[in-house]
């Protein structure tokens, strides 16, 4: 067990993936000598060569499109999109090809492609560097969408994504890259928790707070603050957006009677909306209050001087909890 950052845990996961399967390839912009703009691939090209850690031309659709061809040849590409807001040039290849190839070929052609995307705000970046595009991908059948919230999950879930025979959009909460946590670098993947299962990080009785990625830390801090007011929050790290582990959330809401869903992405037609609908369908009579959502607004991601007003924080989470409790 070692204490390390999420960035280093992701790097270690990629190294293990490259070591354990020689069909694994990394491809992306600046991932070679530079090690990626966030240094997630630091040192990997030096150790595994330019043939397996590939600096690509500056073209996102090209990265995804060639990954499809490499997958058809039996490779297992792990591609890096430099920032969330730059994934859209590749949207057609992801939605029309990566997601649909397996079904179109009646299972003959698998697409074991991992699409790593640093996402979310909170780092004072310029436009297009702080977005949360998960709903676009979750809405597309054929894709899996997961996001770790801590270094250990980052280490395990990225390896699980690479090992998956389905395409996985792997969303890395970039503002948590430098958060530290304990990582068991010898963790056995076979016995690891499924990346598609939610994890209850804190038991509580007053209300359930469901979140993922960068908002997990925010929600855990909110739960600690609430405790001093005698409010006991159950915090669930969803970990996966598609598939969504609804049973774990429903079981929690049956106990607490209240649910607040928190994410950075705008609430309109977001993960919170889906979760609210499903929880309402499955445990309507357990609910003491409507499911409430805390998230971004229906605006473009604002200039960074305003991002603190846009992003959910501890106070906005607690405000929603108060409203749910007062209902």
Which active-site residues does the annotation give? 129
Q: Which is nearer to another protein, 77 or 122 (CB)?
A: 77
Query: Measured from the CB atom, is 57 or 230 closer to another protein?
Result: 57
Label residues 159-192 b or e (16+ Cβ within 10 Å = b): bbbbbbebbbbbbbbbbbbebebebeeeeeeeeb
Q: Which residue has the tokens 């649910």?
A: 259
Could you tell me the smallest distance in angstroms from the CB atom of residue 41 to another protein? Answer: 18
In the complex, what is the shortest distance from the CB of residue 140 to another protein, in angstroms, rounded to a whole number?
Answer: 11
Question: Using CB under 8 A as the criterion, which residues of the chain lie in contact with another protein when the complex forms?
Answer: 25, 51-52, 56-57, 59, 61-62, 64-75, 89, 92-93, 96-97, 100, 102-110, 112, 141-142, 144, 164-166, 196, 242-244
CA distances from 305 to 30, 121, 126, 132, 300 (A): 28, 12, 10, 18, 14
Q: 105 or 205, CB closer to another protein? A: 105
Beta carbons within 8 Å of 107's beta carbon, 6+ residues apart = none
Closer residue to another protein (CB): 52 or 323: 52
Burial class of residue 311 in the structure, from the number of CB atoms within 10 Å of its CB (0-12 exposed, 13-18 middle, 19+ buried): buried
Those residues with Cβ within 8 angstroms of residue 265's Cβ, 6 or more apart along the chain or in another chain: 132, 133, 134, 135, 271, 295, 296
Q: How far is residue 170's CA from residue 145's CA, in Å, rounded to a whole number? A: 6
Min dist. Cβ of residue 203 to another protein (A) = 24
């Amino acid at each position: 067990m070692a204490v390390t950052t999420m960035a280093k845990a992701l790097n270690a996961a990629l190294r293990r993936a490259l070591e354990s399967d020689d069909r694994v390839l990394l491809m992306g912009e600046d991932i070679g000598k530079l090690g990626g703009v966030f240094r997630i691939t630091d040192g990997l090209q030096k150790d595994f060569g330019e043939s397996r850690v590939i600096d690509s031309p500056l073209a996102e659709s090209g990265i995804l499109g060639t990954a499809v061809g490499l997958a058809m040849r039996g490779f297992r590409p792990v591609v890096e999109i430099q920032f969330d807001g730059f994934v859209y040039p590749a949207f057609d290849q992801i939605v029309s090809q990566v997601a649909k190839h397996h079904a179109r070929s009646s299972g003959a052609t698998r697409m074991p492609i991992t699409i790593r995307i640093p996402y979310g705000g909170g780092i004072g970046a310029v436009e297009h560097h702080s977005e949360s595009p998960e709903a676009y991908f979750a809405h597309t059948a054929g894709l899996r969408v997961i996001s770790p919230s801590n270094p250990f999950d980052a280490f395990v879930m990225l390896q699980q994504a690479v090992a998956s025979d389905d395409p996985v959009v792997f969303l890395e909460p970039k503002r948590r890259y430098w958060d530290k946590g304990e990582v068991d670098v010898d963790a056995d993947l076979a016995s690891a928790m499924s990346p598609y299962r939610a994890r209850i990080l804190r038991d509580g009785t007053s209300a359930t707070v469901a979140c993922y990625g960068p908002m997990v830390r925010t929600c855990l801090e909110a739960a600690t603050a609430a405790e001093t007011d005698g409010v006991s929050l159950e915090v669930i790290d969803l970990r996966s957006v598609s598939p969504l582990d609804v049973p774990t959330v429903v079981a929690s809401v049956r106990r607490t009677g209240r649910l607040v869903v928190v994410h950075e992405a705008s609430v309109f037609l977001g993960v919170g909306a889906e979760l609210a609908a499903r929880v309402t369908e499955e445990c309507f009579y357990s609910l003491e209050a409507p499911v409430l959502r805390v998230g971004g607004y229906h605006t473009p991601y604002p200039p960074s001087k305003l991002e603190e007003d846009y992003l959910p924080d501890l106070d906005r989470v607690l405000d929603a909890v108060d409203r749910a409790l007062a209902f």
